[in-house]
Amino acid sequence: MHHSFKPNQNRATRSIGSHHWALGLLVLSLLPLTQAEALLEQALYCTKHSHYLNDSMTPDPQRYAPSRRVDMLHLQIDVTPDFEKRTVAGSTQWKFKPIADPLIQLELDAVGITVSAVEGSHAVAEWHQSETHLIILFAEEVGVDQEATLTIKHRAQPQKGLYFRTPDMGYKNCEAHLFTQGEPIEARHWYPCFDAPNEKFTSQITCHLPDGMIALSNGRLIKQIANEQTHLTAFTWLQDKPHVNYLVSLVAGPFVKIEDSYRDIPLTFWTLPSEQAQAAQSFRHTAQMMAFFEDEIGVPYPWDKYDQVCVNDFVAGGMENTSLTTLTDQTLFTVSTENLRSSQGLVAHELAHQWFGDLVTCKDWSHLWLNEGFATYYDALFEEHLHGKDAFAYQMHKNAVGFLDRHSDPTAIVDRGFNDPMEQFGYRAYPKGSWILHMLRSQLGPELYRRCIHTYLEKHAYGSVVTENLNAVIEELSGRSFDRFFDQYVYHGGHPDLSLQYQWDARTRLARISISQKQKVSDQVMLFEVPATIRFRCSGKDIDQVIHISKESEDFYFSLPSKPEQVRFDPNQTLLAKVSFQKPMELWLAQVENPLDMTGRLRAVHHFQDHPSDRVLEALNKRLQEDPFWGIRAESAAALKHIHSQEALDILIASREQPDARVRQAVDQAIAGFYHPKALEAAKQRLKDEGNPRIVSTALRAIADYHDPEIVALLGRYLEEPSYRNHIGESTIAAMRIQDNAVFIMPILERLMQKEDTFSTRGMGEALQTLGFLARHQEDKSMVLGFIAGKLNHPKQTIQVAAMRALANLQDPSAVAILSNWTHGDPQDQRYKAATTAIENLKKQLAPPQTLQTLREQVQDLEKHYQKLHKELQQLNQQWESIELPPSHSLSAESLVEETP
């Protein structure tokens, strides 16, 4: 297995060579005395205590798990939030013990936290804070395996890690709340901690809140005590099973609940009061999911309860804190959306994390796929349990597309070259990670795979894991080597890019399959060795042949009883690879008719979109009307859009009446891809008779490409159409932007001024940017400029950033000075980045075109040249006039120039 590990080059605090000291003393001798003394003292201190420093203090682009010099045993947090000031104050107590060496200094991650006191069971000699850490020096060493405690008093106004949502920030009255988000390394912004995934401990969280609020946290509620003097109630939660730091959670606010249970495990779904009516739709499958996961995984649910809570503008889709998952309120929906909206995937993903990520946790972020790949795959397995094998296969197909479409990225799943852990949260950890497990399950078989996963979890329960831990279990139980499998798919990047060609020899009754690997082989991407199945259907019977692909190009021959009616590669969809298969159209047309092969029909539909003919159109029409699986019907509509002929449009328009909303929307989206009077009429008709707000939004997008007074009137009406979360209104504004008509400036402006509270945060931001875009060509931009500039002081930072982008869209030179006020802060602040980018864009937009600028420069050069020439001519003329000549030879410089041919 190949790893591009790099040696650590920046461990200056670990060792200082004599030549470095000599150079250092030379530099110190040139500094003022006080500055030199300070630097020398700091260097001596770092050298003296270098073996106690945390690895995170030294810069290193390769990310590894930090050393555990102490075992963190228990965390106890006691805090009181101030919702008006958006601060949190209280204390954090850590219980710990040194592991291998006596401890004189302890270092905790702490960013933006003001510490006022540090006390402990062992005397604290001194403590101080850097920008990123709290460093505590003990008076005497704490012995190995000797338990100790530290209590730290602190306060913070967190910019990360703990988020407030209050009315003065633009959220609903009487629904002020807060939530935390620890992953990957945000907890350090609200309490001092060991903020890495390779340390586990138990925890107890106490939060003091005013009447009408409730605190939610990990584990079980052990105390709820009202204080008559402070009028605050203290909620205390105990998580008595070990977990990592990023899974510590606190959510507080006026939440209401609906309840259920699975066995003796309480299941609760919390929302804000204004969203309670939508809670049941998102919560409905939770108990069924838990039963399925316990049965499939073979390990009981490992925590005391399972709560889910929806919060406003969550920073992600969901977060799997132990026993308390935080969800975005965007997952809530109304029944009017039919089956276009569902929380099933999100809820299943986060619930699966309670085993994969919480019970066992990746040791460091390079092995994140052990968290996210498992959760993504078990979400798909529940889809199979609920909706059948075709639904599962379709979801895995989409997961594959989510990775294969990134074929230009050769980065491995296990990669240590990131600069920020968030870089790991992408298509390699999620969809590709899910496919690693799917291929393992396909090669091992479902039963042996279950045994492997069950053993892996039991062996590493409440511990940390790396990829090799999974491989070791699989090899132990299967007796097979999977080193190459993990090497090529996990420790190297890319995927097989296979080109296949089929030929039939009637004389010998041999089928030949030629296979070439087209991926660029390098140190990062291997030449793959993979098993694959070729399926031939001869006289109505399937014949499966297993092959082993290992070369850049190779031919495989198969003796068959008769000419095959169908030839399939990887018929069970068990190989993550990009596949191009050249075979006669008759085989594709037969494949698309196979009722038992959904993935075969899907691949045929995708093939048809690039090979249009009358027979292909007939086949796609039949799939669109009759296929038993909704995904094939939807994909057939997309293929017809891709073909983009009049016949394809006619088929789509004739197929608009679809009982499944997913197919109905797919047909409408396909029709919207045509610029045609029939397409416009179909969209208008949909607006008249459609009740599903999501499909209405699709129709609004469709009419946006057409310009006539009726469209303007329609969009003006739908701008004010009431809908859940203002979805239709915000979709209308998106359509108005496509129209690019200044007539919409005032309606949008008035809507924002009068009904801002109906907009989602994202919708508000998009509306501001649309407003700037539509007004960019107006002679008088002052009104729009003033309105957008006013949003730069909006209490929501997201709206501030959107306003900056809107000012760039407006293309008003005066906006540069306004935006410059935000370019003096923290370069990592999103507002700083947005303002800087907006100013750069404005300068580019307002600069004269390059061709015009070049012409101006050329004219200026000619003017300079003319002036120089004119001056020289004047001097020459003066010289001529100073010379006395006979009258017949009286000439001037000008006359000489004029007579020159």
Stretch 3-12: mean pLDDT = 31
Residue 168 three-state SS: helix
Residue 445, CA distances (Å) to 339, 431, 441, 448 in order: 32, 21, 5, 6
- Residue 845's pLDDT band (cuts 50, 70, 90): confident
Check whether 50 has a pLDDT greater than 50: no
Residue 276 has pLDDT above 70, yes or no: yes
**880 contact partners, CB below 8 Å, separation of at least 6:** 891, 892, 893
Other beta carbons within 10 angstroms of residue 596's beta carbon come to: 7
Res 2 pLDDT > 70: no
Residue 828 confidence (pLDDT):
82
566 and 537 Cβ atoms separated by less than 8 Å = yes
Phi/psi at 200 (nearest 5 deg)? -125, 150
Task: Give the max Cα distance, the chain.
Answer: 127
Give me the mean pLDDT over the 164-185 stretch.
96
Instruction: For the chain, give the mean pLDDT.
Output: 90
Give the total residue count for the chain. Answer: 901
Q: What is the pLDDT of residue 847?
A: 74
- Report yes or no: 768 and 802 within 8 Å, Cβ to Cβ: yes
Q: How confident is the model at residue 872 (pLDDT cuts 50, 70, 90)?
A: low
Alpha carbon dihedral 762, 766, 772, 777, in 10-degree steps, equals 180
Q: Residue 463 class from Cβ within 10 Å (0-12 exposed, 13-18 middle, 19+ buried)?
A: middle
Report how far residue 624's alpha carbon sits from residue 389's, in angstroms, rounded to the nearest whole number. 20
Q: Which of 63-72, 292-301, 630-639, 823-832 has the lowest mean pLDDT?
A: 823-832
User: Using one digit for the tens of pLDDT, what is the confidence trace for 777-810?
Assistant: 999 999 999 999 999 999 899 999 999 999 999 9
The closest of 202, 199, 70 to 145, measured between CA atoms, is 70
Q: What percent of the residues of the chain are helix, what percent strand, and what percent coil, each to the nearest 5?
A: 45, 20, 30
- Segment 284-290 mean pLDDT: 97
Instruction: Please give the Cα distance from 112 to 131 (Å, whole number).
Output: 7
Which residues, in sequence order, are bridge partners of residue 504?
511
pLDDT level of residue 4 (50, 70, 90 thresholds): very low
Determine the average pLDDT of the residues in 590-615. 98
Look at residues 28, 181, 152, 161 and name the one whose alpha carbon lies nearest to residue 87.
161
- For 186-200, what is the mean pLDDT? 97
DSSP-derived secondary structure letter, 493: B
Predicted pLDDT at 869: 66
Q: Distances from the Cα of 143 to the Cαs of 107, 122, 152, 194, in angstroms?
A: 17, 11, 21, 20
d(CA 270, CA 329): 11
Supply the pTM of this predicted model. Answer: 0.88
- The CA distance from 400 to 393, in Å, is 10
Q: What is the pLDDT of residue 531?
A: 98
User: Any residues with CB less than 8 A from the CB of 20 and at least 6 apart, and which?
Assistant: none
Under the banding of pLDDT at 50, 70 and 90, the label for residue 308 is very high
The three-point CA angle 292-293-294 to 5° equals 95
Mean pLDDT of 21-30: 32
Q: What is the reported pLDDT for 7?
A: 31
The strand pair at 578-582 and 497-505 is best described as: parallel
* The one-letter amino acid at 101: D
pLDDT tier, 409 (very low <50, low <70, confident <90, very high otherwise): confident
**Type of residue numbered 825:** G
**How far does CA 247 lie from the centroid of its chain?**
19
Buried b (16+ CB within 10 A) or exposed e, 670-679: bbbbbeeeeb
681 membership: H or E segment, kind and range:
helix 677-689
| Nearest alpha-carbon partner for 492 in 452, 419, 432, 430 | 432
For the segment 874-897, what is each residue's pLDDT rounded down to a tens digit? Answer: 666 666 566 554 444 433 333 333
